[in-house]
Every structure is written in structure tokens, then in C-alpha cells.
Amino acid sequence: MDYGLVLPSLGDGASRDGIAAAVELAETHDFSDVWATDHLLVDPAAADDYGRIFEIVTTLAWVAARSESVGVGASVIVAPMRNAVVLAKELATLDVLSDGRLIAGFGVGWNAKEFANVGVSERFAVRGAYAEETIAVCRHLWSGSTAPFHGRFHDFEDYVFGPLPPRRAIPIWLGGRDERALRRAGRLADAYHSSGAGPDAFAKRLAVVKAAAEAAGRPLPRLSARVRLELDAPPQPAFYTMHGSAERIAGEIRAFAGRGVDHLALAFPPRDPEGLREAMSRFSEEIRPLV
């Protein structure tokens, strides 16, 4: 199992020091990558979770400069709130500057008020189609192609684009739990990146992803899950958490592996460096040896 660390870049306690410590701790504990979260201008109803949040692309660029080995990932960018060409340029630049360490996670979003707040309310109803075209635009430009692109939302034919990503592609991981998002992941994604789902719920989603991949004549995407982990804690009724004893959590990780998941992006509750250091040390010492 590969482990990623969800950066403490959101929430009231989010800080520069906490994010910097997370990168250092990811290296120390041999985590493969670190992950930032995206929202731009949520309404007050979502303020507790996303009112204070560091902008995702800027954060990943800053984080990439603090390490030469840890991958950097987006979990996930709300693609329909952005111009696809601008996003393709930002991510290509980030990938070049990080020497090919970027994973571009995309999602379609869920907050209609946020779409309105950033001036793209009309996209909310077509956000799935816009996200799919964003994927097409990005892959077209990252490949180095100079062929025209004629889409529903973007149209360009006389252009140059550079710098190109070192791999001429950046892995695109798709999130989501709606059946349409799951089918999209099967058809288009390099990986399916779930959130808010335990092993049993993941298995139900996986069936949809797998069927869509088979129908499209392509291999099953890589499987990843973003999960919150809290040792010695009771269950959280509002969302899935790996909680309780080390043995219980290790069993949950093994259950994910049994569903084909080979990457877990772990979100630890502490935002401060010391709290995060203690949580990750306990994970490495008490849980990882049991998996």
C-alpha cells in the first residue's frame, strides 16, 4: 500500500507552519505524496469546513519546492469553476517545476452557490460535460499537439503551448460518488480517487467504475481512497473515518487492499505541527507494521 498525506491546508487551524511540517513528515515517514484540497468562495453554510482554505495550485507549487522526492496531488480541483486552458497551463508549469511529480485530481463540484460566487453559475448544470472537456483540453495541450481543438466550451486553432510536462502527460485522477462520476472515472481516468467511503461502500462504487472501463475497452484505473484516520477515537456519524484501535484500523486498510486499492491519502485531524507529528508517528509505529 502506498500512503499519501492530506495537507492540513483547510480548516480554522490551517497554517503555513502546519503545511510545511506535513511535507517534512511525509518524507520522514516514507509517504509517497501529499495532497491539497480545493474550494474558492463557499457560502456560509460550508464555512466550518472550507471557509479557511489555502488555494490549491499555489499551495502545491510551494509544497513542491520544499521537497525533491515527495509527489504533489490535487484532491481534487473543481475543474468546472476554472478556464480549462488556464488550468492546463498552471498544471503543466507546476509539473515542470516539480520535475514531473504532479498528480492532477479533478472533480465536478457540488456547491451551486460557490459556482455563482465565482461567476460561473451557468456551468453548474453542465459541470460533468465541462469537466470531461477540461480533461480533453489538458491532454491535448500537454501532449504537444498543435492541432485545432473544437469543443463545446473551448475553441482554439492558432496557438503554441509550452512548457510541456516532462512526461507529455500528467496523471489525471477523478473523484466523485455519483454514478455519472464513477462512469466517467472508468472511461477517462488514470485513477479513481474516492472520498468519504469505507471498504464496503468503495466496493459498490468500484463495480460501476469497472463496468464503465470494460465498456470503453480500457484497463481498470488505479484505485485510491482519501480517508480520515483517528486512533482511539469513536466513529464519526457524519462521514467515514478509520477510527479506534491500531488493530481495527489496520484491518480497514487490509480491507481496502482487498478491493484493489493500492493508495490511501490519509487525513489526520491535527492542523498544528506537533499534533500532526504525534499522529503520524503513531501511525508508523502502531498501525503500519500490522498491515
- What tens digit of pLDDT does each residue of 141-151 get? 999 999 999 99
Three-state DSSP string of the chain: CEEEEECCCECCCCCHHHHHHHHHHHHHCCCCEEEECCCCCCCHHHHHHHCCECCHHHHHHHHHCCCCCCEEEECCEEHHHCCHHHHHHHHHHHHHHCCCCEEEEEECCCCHHHHHHCCCHHHHHHHHHHHHHHHHHHHHHHCCCCCCEECCCCEECCCCCCCCCCCCCCCEEECCCCHHHHHHHHHHCCEEEEECCCHHHHHHHHHHHHHHHHHCCCCCCEEEEEEEEEECCCCCCCCCEEEECHHHHHHHHHHHHHCCCCEEEEECCCCCHHHHHHHHHHHHHHHHHHC
d(CA 120, CA 124): 7
For residue 36, give the CATH number of its domain: 3.20.20.30
CA 93 vs CA 5, 56, 86, 232: distances in Å? 23, 14, 11, 42
Determine the structural domain holding residue 271 and report its residue range.
2-290
Average pLDDT value for residue range 70-87: 98
What percent of the chain clears pLDDT 70, i.e. is strictly above it?
100
Q: How confident is the model at residue 282 (pLDDT cuts 50, 70, 90)?
A: very high
For residue 286, what pLDDT is reported?
Answer: 98
Average pLDDT value for residue range 197-215: 98
For the chain, how many structural domains are there in total? 1
Contact 167, 149 (CB under 8 A): no
What percent of the chain clears pLDDT 90, i.e. is strictly above it?
98
pTM, 2 dp: 0.97
For residue 236, what pLDDT is reported?
Answer: 81
For residue 238, what pLDDT is reported?
Answer: 80
For residue 239, what pLDDT is reported?
Answer: 85
Q: How confident is the model at residue 276 (pLDDT cuts 50, 70, 90)?
A: very high
**CA triplet 93, 85, 60: central angle to 5 degrees?**
35
- What tens digit of pLDDT does each residue of 240-266 get? 999 999 999 999 999 999 999 999 999
Sole residue written with cell 509517504 = 31
